[in-house]
Amino acid sequence: MSQLKILHVDDEPDIREVAELALSIDPDMEIRSASSGLDALDVLGGEGWTPDVILLDVMMPELDGPGTLQRLRALPGHSQTPVIFMTARAQAQEQQRFINLGAVAVIIKPFDPMILAGQVRDILAGAGS
């Protein structure tokens, strides 16, 4: 299985920790976490590490998920980086809105930590087909 670099962005420390744990089930996933949209933009704008996919919480203070997505698209090298939104808003209309914003998929929270890594792999396999 190919190495996959993942940036997970969520303002809740417990969720970041359990997501890191969940994604580490897959030994070929390299995970970094960011505690806010602004923190994520700092990581993405820095040198030396480029994620293959970004897991982005929707509701965050200061800069929310959609706002973060808009700004990261303007960063060099990130116009096409796949973004998966993570949200507790499960309504189909909301999910479609997130897709229309440019996300490749939406993972509904609460997520199951036992299957999160597989979900991410499946989404990316589908997005690339």
Partner 1 sequence: MTDAFQALRARFRVRAGEELAQLQTLTAVSSDSVELRRLVHNIAGAAGTFGFPALSQAAIVIDDHYAAGEQPPADSFRTLAQALSDAATGA
The distance of closest approach from Cβ of residue 62 to partner 1 in the complex, given in angstroms and rounded to an integer, is 12
Instruction: Provide, rounded to whole angstroms, the least separation between the CB of residue 63 and partner 1.
Output: 15
Give whichever of 21 and 99 is closer to partner 1, judged by the CB atom.
Answer: 21
Q: Which two tokens stand for residue 120?
A: 């991410």
In three-state form (DSSP H/G/I as H, E/B as E, the rest C), the secondary structure along the chain is CCCEEEEEECCCHHHHHHHHHHHCCCCCEEEEEECCHHHHHHHHHCCCCCCCEEEEECCCCCCCHHHHHHHHCCCCCCCCCCEEEEECCCCHHHHHHHHHCCCCEEEECCCCCCCHHHHHHHHHHHHCC
Compare residues 59 and 73 and give the one whose CB is closer to partner 1.
59
| Choice between 8 and 78, CB closer to partner 1 | 8
Closer to partner 1 at the Cβ: 17 or 28? Answer: 17
Q: Minimum distance from CB of 88 to partner 1 (Å)?
A: 4
Closest approach, Cβ 35 to partner 1, in A, equals: 14
Q: Which residues bind partner 1 (CB under 8 A)?
A: 12, 14-15, 17-18, 21-22, 24-25, 59, 61, 86-91, 94, 109-113
